Amino acid sequence: MNKKIIVFGNQKGGTGKSTLAMHLIVSLLIKGYKVAAIDADAKQGTLSRYIENRIRTKSDNPNILVPICKPIFESINDSVTIGQRMDAIEFVELLSSLKNFDFIVIDTPGHDNNLARIAHSFADIIITPMNESFVDLDLIIKATPNKNNIQTSSYAEAVWNRKKERAQRDKGTIDWIILLNRMSSVESRNKKELERILNILSKRLGFRLARGFKDRIIFKELFLSGLTLLDSNTSQSHMNLSHIAARQELADLLNTLNIQ
């Protein structure tokens, strides 16, 4: 399929996946791309509700661009094997129905399930937001006081397995990006040590390290209106230097993804 499939994934909630996904979707729409969103975390439905809020706001502002959004639920079949097969069939059919789109952006749950694994295996790009915390790092490596004794943890192993699945299916490759997100504005020794370890791990585990958004209240406020920092009427007179800096952070993310 001649398109880019971008998956936001992490086996931990609260890292900002849905907010990042929404901002990426809107930035791609503004650039003129045809963009579809898949909410593979439809049970929680944060991305779906974000887009529903945006549709309501559009009634007062027709210029707001809204993506197609398709929620998908994991099978509840009593047979695990049959359920997994049904998930795979439904997911492939959904991708096929979106074949005319330039980008498909997929939000996944903050835990491991079959649907998340399938979505990851079809990704061209996996973006893993993580807070600047050794708690979040523990999902990628088994963090110990001896930082030189590094063993991969659950999520890193899951991504490695999805890379193998993708290669076996169509000889495709997956670009894995770990994004430090919800960053504090204060430089700390903990933050520097975390980045040092991630830079070492990037070569060993095959990911690129990038920076996402700093932790800003405006992201929580925008959800109710379905808006992003890229919308011309966002906060209007309330825009300040912090919001402008956040727009630059998004532009930097697009550069990381090599999206013009």
Per-residue pLDDT in tens (0 to 9) along the chain, 260 residues: 456 999 999 988 888 899 999 999 999 999 999 999 999 999 999 999 999 999 999 998 888 999 999 999 999 998 999 999 999 999 999 999 999 999 999 999 999 999 999 999 999 999 999 888 788 888 887 766 555 566 778 899 999 999 999 999 999 999 999 998 877 766 677 778 888 888 888 888 899 998 888 877 778 888 999 999 888 655 444 556 667 777 888 888 888 888 87
Domain span holding position 71: 4-256
Tell me the whole-structure pTM to 2 decimals. Answer: 0.90
Q: What angle do CA 82, 85, 90 make, to 5 degrees?
A: 125
Q: Count how many domains the chain has.
A: 1
Q: How many CB atoms lie within 10 A of CB 157?
A: 13
Q: What is the CATH number of the domain that holds 207?
A: 3.40.50.300
What whole-number distance in Å separates Cα of residue 184 and Cα of residue 191? Answer: 9
Cβ atoms of 64 and 231 closer than 8 Å? yes
Pairing of strands 175-180, 207-211: parallel
